[in-house]
């Protein structure tokens, strides 16, 4: 892609540009923006053309597609500074100050800015999926994304969702929250922070043969940490125990689910 201004800066005259347009060596896409050599464009070529014609950066859903957080739905969204005006057919233009970078050579909003932008239009499930995708692709971890939002007044909803994923309780606070849930599920008081099969466990009911672990995401997200968790669970299962896991966020925000699960498992174990 190339703009008319870039061609003029390279020394091409108006006549030279018109000649190349007539010969089919330049193909207009938007006003003052041309594809070089052939008219067909890749998705990325079209996005680059959009940034050039608006003199802006990819943003919102289009930026999310470029970052591979979500599928491309064909919508082209561009952000330009608020003092600038631009209107192009087929392009949704947003006017505001935005953090920007380049990805695959294309100007685009930063990853954090992209998350802030899409958080205003996606459902909670869609936003959770985008967060998981960024984590899976090693673009950013949920806790680092949460830390990057401090001080941003427009990111309240995204912060709330991330707080549920990065929530971690201290041992004492965990016990204060979890033990009443277990009591309401009909379970007696468990042993806490004791060693079972060579591992320190959070909660243990020896009469039921039930081990409950509560995971904070930031401490259990890597492959090595997850492999350690699996070995712990396998050791308990091999010893005839039932291992059960909840996240700290489930204990804090979904106590009804935790209680129902504990009650069902306890009933099964007799």
- Structure confidence by residue, pLDDT tens digits, 31-72: 899 999 989 999 999 999 999 999 999 999 999 999 999 998
- Structure confidence by residue, pLDDT tens digits, 76-118: 999 999 998 888 889 999 999 999 999 999 999 999 999 999 9
Average pLDDT on 212-229 reads: 69
Average pLDDT on 193-220 reads: 85
Average pLDDT on 243-263 reads: 93
Distance CA 236, CA 203 (A): 13
Assign 215 a pLDDT band (cuts: 50, 70, 90). Answer: confident
Please say if the pLDDT value at position 156 is more than 60: yes
> Per the structure block, which two tokens stand in for 46?
């079209």
Assign 211 a pLDDT band (cuts: 50, 70, 90). Answer: very high
Assign 270 a pLDDT band (cuts: 50, 70, 90). Answer: confident
Give the number of C-alpha atoms closer than 13 A to the C-alpha of residue 195, restricted to the C-beta side.
3
Cα–Cα distances in Å, from 244 out to 258, 265, 266?
11, 9, 11
Assign 222 a pLDDT band (cuts: 50, 70, 90). Answer: low
Domain 171-269: assigned CATH number: 3.40.960.10
| pTM for this entry | 0.68
Is residue 87 within 8 A of residue 44, CB to CB? The reply is no
**Which residues of the chain form CATH 3.40.960.10?**
171-269
Contacts (Cβ under 8 Å, ≥6 apart) of 203: 178, 182, 190, 191, 192, 211, 212, 213, 214
Please say if the pLDDT value at position 217 is more than 70: no
């Amino acid at each position: 892609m190339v703009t008319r201004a870039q061609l003029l800066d390279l020394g091409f005259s108006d006549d030279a540009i018109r000649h190349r347009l007539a010969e089919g060596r330049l193909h207009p896409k938007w006003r003052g923006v041309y594809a070089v050599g052939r008219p067909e464009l890749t998705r990325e070529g079209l996005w680059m053309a959009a940034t050039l014609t608006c003199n802006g950066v990819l943003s919102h859903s289009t930026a999310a597609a470029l970052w591979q957080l979500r599928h491309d739905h064909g919508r082209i969204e561009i952000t330009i500074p608020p003092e600038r005006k631009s209107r192009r057919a087929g392009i949704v233009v947003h006017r505001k100050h935005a953090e920007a970078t380049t990805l695959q050579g294309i100007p685009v909003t930063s990853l954090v800015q992209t998350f802030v932008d899409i958080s205003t239009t996606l459902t909670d499930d869609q936003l959770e999926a985008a967060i998981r995708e960024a984590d899976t692709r090693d673009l950013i971890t949920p806790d680092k994304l949460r830390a990057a939002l401090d001080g941003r007044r427009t990111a309240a909803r995204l912060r709330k969702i991330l707080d549920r994923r990065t929530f971690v309780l201290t041992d004492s606070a965990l016990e204060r929250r979890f033990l009443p849930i277990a009591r309401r599920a009909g379970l007696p008081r468990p042993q806490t922070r004791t060693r079972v099969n060579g591992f320190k466990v959070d909660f243990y009911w020896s009469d039921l043969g039930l081990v409950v672990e509560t995971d904070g995401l930031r401490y259990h997200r890597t492959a090595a940490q997850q492999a350690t968790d699996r070995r712990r669970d396998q050791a308990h299962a091999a010893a005839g125990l039932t291992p059960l896991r909840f996240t700290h966020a489930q204990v804090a925000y979904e106590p009804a689910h935790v209680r129902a699960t504990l009650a069902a498992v306890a009933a099964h174990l007799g």
